[in-house]
Structure formats: C-alpha cells, structure tokens
Amino acid sequence: MKEITGLSNRVLEINVTDQTYSVYEVPYEDTVKYLGGKGLALKLFYNRFIAGTDALSPDNIIVFHTGAYMGTGAPCSGRFSAVSKSPLTGIIASSSCGGPFGMALKTSGWDGLIINGASDKPVWIEIDSGGAKFNNAESIWGKDSDYTQNFLKDRGAGTIAIGPAGENLVNYANIISGNRFLGRGGMGAVLGSKKVKAVTAKGGEFKIVAKNREEFKKNRSAFIADINKNEFTSIEYRKYGTASNVKPAIKNLMLPVNNFRDGTHPDFENITGEEIGENHTLGYSTCKPCSILCGHKGKFGDRVLQVPEYETIGLLGTSLGIFDPVAIAEWNETCKLVGIDTISAGATLAWAMEAGENKIYKTNLKFGAADLVNEILEDIGYNRGAGTELGKGTRWLSEKYGGKEYAIHTKGLEAAAYDPRGSYGHGLGLATANRGACHLSATMMSLQAFSRFSYKFRIMGNAYITMFMEDLNFAINSLQTCQFTIYAVFGERYLTKYLPGIIIRILNLIIPQIALQVVSVKHYFRTYTSITGIKLNQYKFRRCGKRGHLLERYMNTREGITSKDDTLPHRFLYESRTSDKKNRRVPLHKMLRRYYWYRGYDRNGIPKPSTLKKWGITIP
C-alpha cells in the first residue's frame, strides 16, 4: 500500500453542473498559515467565494478538509471540517464531524473536497484516488439518512449524505456521516440545492504515516496519558457522554427550561448522564479513532438508539419542558432520519410554544406536552404543513410574527443549551462567535462554570480570555482533533493542575495576558510537527488560530455583519431567570468594547485594514 506522509496537499475540486473534477495542489504557504481542517477549508473557500452569493445558489461552495491528524492514529483524530455559506444565517458556516467519511477521503489520497455548481437531477458522487464518478440518485432521493447510507454502504468506506430536509432546503438541514453530523448552519440544504444526495469515498488506498514516526509515538503516548488521567475525559465523558454536563449546568442555573425562562427544574434528575447511563446505556458508539469515547448507544423503550448529546437533551428536552429521556432519544432519532439539527429544531419549537402562549402564533405545541413533537419534527424535515415555516428558524419566524425578545439566537444561529446568565464570559463568547451563537467557539461556559478557571460573574478579564480561547479552539479545529481534549490539555498541566483554583481565577481576572501564557498546549503542536515536519511552537500555533478567526470575521463583514450583530437575545440581556435570586443579566456591552480593541476591530466591529495586513490577509 502506498504511503502519504502527513498531508498530501491534494484537494479534489468538483463541478456538479458539468460533472467534471480537477486536482488542486494546496500551496505550502497556506498549509503553514492555516494548518488544515477548518483553517484550510476556510482559506480554500475564501479563494473561491464571491461575497454576497446566495447560500442556495449554484455559485455557493462547500469545502471539506480532513486535517493533518486524520489517519495517523493521533488522539481523537477521526474528525473533518466543512465550510460554506449558511442558508440559516446568511454568513459563513463551519462545522466539524466525527463520522467515517473523513478517514475514507484521506485514505483515498485526498486531504479535502470542494463542491460547487448544481445538477439538474439528483446525483451521488463516488470518489477514489483517481477522481470522481457521478451516479444517478433519483432512486434514493426522498429517502431518509439511514436508508441512504445503507444503500451506499458497499460503495465506499465512508459516506456523507442528506435526508429529506436537505432535499427540501430546510434552513437547518444537516449532513450525516455514520451517526455523526455536520450539524449547524444548514449545510444539508447547501448540498440539497446542488441536488447532491450523497458522496462516498472508497478509502483504504493509502496509509497515512507521520514524518517523524518515533517522535509521533512519543507525543501520542503523552497526549493519551493526559486524556486518561483527566476527570472529564476519562470518567465523566467516557462513562456518561456529554449528558454528564446536565448536573453542572443545573448547579450553575444554566440548563434551559421552557425556552430559557429558567435554569433549573425539580425533574432534572430524570435526564442526567448518570440516570441515563444506569437505566439506558448499552455501550459505546463513538467517532473513530477516539481516546475519550463520549458517544454511546442505549435501550430506549424497545429500540436501541444513540444516547442523546447534552445539547439535544437541553434543546429538544428541557427547553420544551420535557424531562423524559425516552421521548428525547426518539426525537433525536427522528431528527437524524429526516436530517435536521437538534439544536435549531428544539430552539424553534420552544419559540413556537412561547409565541403560542402569547397568541401571536397559532400552534397546538405547548411546554411540557410531548404528543405533537415527533409529528412536527417530521413535518419540518418533509417541508409540509406548519413545518414549512418552522424549518426557516427562529430569526425568520420572529421577524414575521413578533416575539423577537424570546427568539434565542445570535446572527440567526440558535443558541446551544448553556444559559449565559450563569457565565458572563460565555455570553461574550456567544455574541462574538463567528458563525452565530456557538458555544464551541470560545467554550467559556466550561472554563467558568464547570472548571472554575475564571470568575463567572466578573467583567474583568473576559475580553482577553474569550479572544484567547477563540483562537485556540480555531487552531484545534484546524489540526483536526476533538475539542474535548482541551480538558486534559489544560487540566493535566502541572501549573493548572496543582496551583490553587482561587489563584488561577485571580490571575485570569487581573492579568490574563500573562496568566494564559503558562497554559501549555504542547500536545497539539508537537503532534502536528511530528506528523507534517512543519515546525510549530506554542506561539506559532496560536497565531494560526488567530489568523483563521480573523479571516472568518472579515468574510462575515463582507456579508454585512457589524457590531450591531454581536449581541445576545433580549432574554439574556434584560430578563432574569425565575430561580436566580440575584436577578443576573449579561453585561455584554461592557465587555464587547474591550474585546474589539484586543482583536484590532474598529468601533463597528470591522477588522481594521492594518489588522488584516498584519496577519497577511489580502483584500480582493
């Protein structure tokens, strides 16, 4: 078998309109600056995308990239990224997935894939090391995601596919690979607009090896050792998955109840990770390869289903007033089959329930009532009845009917299941996240509410820490590996592990610029260097993340994003939770100005020309 050392730097570029393909060789300079994964996918997109292009037009582009870790056996390296323009938000969408397609694409000899144009008839695309073949997909058009993947299971080692929601251009339709998803921003609708039902990759044609194999083995062993020592990655997530976040979310009043009107509920014990683990979980169902093993399958009623992630429990469960793990797991499965994002779907239904209470929107949906939820989720996927409008998302609905004050989104992307009134830094992170209300951009809820790395109800320090974490997470997603590894990378370093928590919090309050420099992320960049031969250190690694984040922000400003969009839902800014005796609200604007200064943006949130020049971003 032929070998590829680290990155092949070869990207397959497909034009669906005329069913042709070509090979793009990624310049070495771009690899050095953007690493791979999300970073290179974004740069490839930027080089080709015309600002203002409609997300559902043939001229929109979707780019996939696997990164340097893929195929090497590096910890939690079974992930790939995608970038496109979102039909939900109208700005740049990015997403990460742990399904088998990434490995299949990489071992077919391709680091990445670019799809543009649109077909007149449904197609599925078959990829191997020689290129692409176009096949008629009319027989599977209209079929759900399980049927589609089963139909194509012998045509490659990995598949990406859309369900009916993608075909019907639902704004938050997702893309499936195995039991994992490119979930946010409606990328399934982008493929649907191109009449691409699925893409398969043959896989197994190349072996991916590290440039410095002995150094790689040493770095890999040290990385996995820290993962296996850390409480979150080796105990909580490994035993209970992300559902283990339910208890700390309740403790910090961050669990969304009845569309974020409250942060706790007497029935929350029914949906904790521990409760689901004891009564439902059967075993693992994870990304491959994985060193954390957060994914699980379980018995719910008479069916074996995926154990829902925390986000799904929060948005399709507690935010709807539902605390039944069986119902939530079944709705999670329905969303999988029709191909819709559980976060956006749940947030949209919660808005509809509250709008119905306020008699501005006609619906039979009610908080705490489970009887109509599954039916309406199917209606959304198949674009019928009330589902036609509900499939457009909360921003669209609130602009048509009213109720903007309880439409829980930023920049059109519905917020995940962490109430920022329980963590002010998390509020800033939601407001500034490039793709919209994304909890994974800065992950400040983890630093402040779960690990107490910084004070959760202070303003000082948040602007710098948020920027630091955005840059770091962008770099991690460009390797690409799982963001959950950050618990081990932060938590098992000597200073952060043994220094008293109060000292860490005080330092991050008054001198975060200095305090954060002692956080070692050497596992990430040393592993990358041993794979690719490209020399990185802590400073260069974070610079790659900063450059990528800046490019993404600049691209969003070309689509009309300014400081007016860096905000939070009215509920988080001006309302308090029923259970919070101190009536806390997020003091966003006091933090935002300082954040812009650190970023090198002007007062309107636009990157200054001098900032772009400093980071080597060329304005077309």
pLDDT tens-digit map of 243-288: 999 999 999 999 999 999 999 899 999 999 999 999 999 999 999 8
- Do 371 and 427 share a structural domain? no
Residue 321 has a pLDDT of 97
Q: Where are the beta strands (DSSP E) in 327-420?
A: 409-410, 413-414
Is 619 inside any structural domain? no
User: For residue 252, what are the domain limits?
Assistant: 214-414
- Do 249 and 106 share a structural domain? no
Q: Once rounded to an integer, what is the mean pLDDT over residues 610-619?
A: 94
- Do 201 and 138 share a structural domain? yes
Distance CA 112, CA 236 (A): 33
Residue 501 has a pLDDT of 79
The CATH code of the domain that includes 337 is 1.10.569.10
The domain boundary, picked from 194, 209, 224, lies at: 209
- Do 256 and 195 share a structural domain? no
Query: Nearest to residue 345, comparing CAs of 392, 285, 384?
Result: 392
The domain boundary, picked from 209, 239, 268, lies at: 209
Q: Is the pLDDT of residue 390 over 80?
A: yes
At residue 495 the predicted structure's pLDDT band, cuts being 50, 70 and 90, is low
Q: Which residues of 98-128 are buried (b: 16+ CB within 10 A; e: fewer)?
A: bbbbbbbbbbbbbbbbbbbbbbeebbbbbbb
Is 116 inside any structural domain? yes
At residue 411 the predicted structure's pLDDT band, cuts being 50, 70 and 90, is very high
- Do 230 and 181 share a structural domain? no
361-362-364-365 Cα dihedral, nearest 10 degrees: -20
Phi, psi for 418 (deg, rounded to 5): -130, 110
Residue 5 has a pLDDT of 95
pLDDT tens-digit map of 452-486: 788 999 999 999 999 999 999 999 999 999 999 99
The per-residue DSSP string of 219-279 comes to HHHHHHHHHHH-HIIIIIHHHHGGGGGHHHHHHTT-S-BTTTTBS--TTGGGGSHHHHHHH
pTM over 0.95: yes
- Do 451 and 409 share a structural domain? no
Distance CA 435, CA 92 (A): 6
Is 620 inside any structural domain? no
Distance CA 267, CA 4 (A): 53
The domain boundary, picked from 414, 444, 461, lies at: 414
- Do 361 and 504 share a structural domain? no
Q: Name, in order, each residue with C-beta under 8 angstroms of 248's C-beta and a sequence gap of 6 or more.
A: 449, 450
Q: Which residue has the tokens 């048509």?
A: 400
The CATH code of the domain that includes 117 is 3.60.9.10
Q: Is the pLDDT of residue 508 over 90?
A: no
Is 376 inside any structural domain? yes
- Do 325 and 349 share a structural domain? yes
Q: Is the pLDDT of residue 325 over 60?
A: yes
Is 540 inside any structural domain? yes
The count of structural domains within the chain is: 3
Distance CA 335, CA 376 (A): 11
At residue 498 the predicted structure's pLDDT band, cuts being 50, 70 and 90, is low
- Do 606 and 515 share a structural domain? yes
The CATH code of the domain that includes 522 is 1.10.599.10
- Do 506 and 390 share a structural domain? no
Q: Is the pLDDT of residue 492 over 80?
A: no
- Do 474 and 365 share a structural domain? no
Cis peptide upstream of residue 480 (ω within 30 degrees of 0):
yes
Phi, psi for 206 (deg, rounded to 5): -135, 150
- Do 233 and 204 share a structural domain? no
At residue 195 the predicted structure's pLDDT band, cuts being 50, 70 and 90, is very high
Q: Once rounded to an integer, what is the mean pLDDT over residues 418-446?
A: 96
